[in-house]
Copies of this chain bind each other. A is one copy, B any other.
Amino acid sequence: MKETFAHASGGRRAGGGGTAPPAPAALAAKVRTLAPSMTRSMQRVAEAVAGDPAGCAALTVTGLAELTGTSEATVVRTARLLGYPGYRDLRLALAGLAAQQQSGRAPAITTDIAVDDPIADVVAKLAYDEQQTLADTAAGLDTGQLGAAVAALAAARRTDVYGIGASGLVAQDLTQKLLRIGLIAHAHNDPHLAVTNAVQLRAGDVALAITHSGSTGDVIEPLRAAFERGATTVAITGRPDSPVTQYADHVLTTSTSRESELRPAAMSSRTSQLLVVDCLFVGVAQRTYDSAAPALAASYEALAHRHGGSRGRP
Contact = CB atoms under 8 A, between A and B. Distances in A.
B143 A119 contact: yes
Contacts of A5: 67
A300 B166 CA distance: 13
- Size class of A's contact patch? 35 or more
Contacts of A18: none
Nearest to A17: B312
A119 B7 CA distance: 28
A123 B146 contact: yes
Interface string A202-245: 00000000000111111000000000000000000001011100
A138 B124 contact: yes
A311 B37 contact: yes
A312 B241 contact: yes
Question: Closest 8 A-B residue pairs measured CB to CB?
Answer: A96-B99, A37-B312, A215-B308, A127-B138, A215-B307, A92-B95, A241-B312, A95-B95
Given A97-B99, A242-B313, 10 more contacts: A7-B52, A12-B54, A37-B312, A100-B100, A119-B146, A123-B279, A127-B138, A169-B169, A264-B300, A274-B274
23 contacts: A2-B66, A36-B312, A96-B96, A97-B99, A100-B100, A103-B103, A115-B286, A119-B147, A122-B283, A123-B138, A124-B138, A131-B134, A166-B173, A166-B176, A169-B173, A215-B314, A217-B306, A241-B313, A242-B312, A243-B312, A243-B313, A262-B282, A264-B296
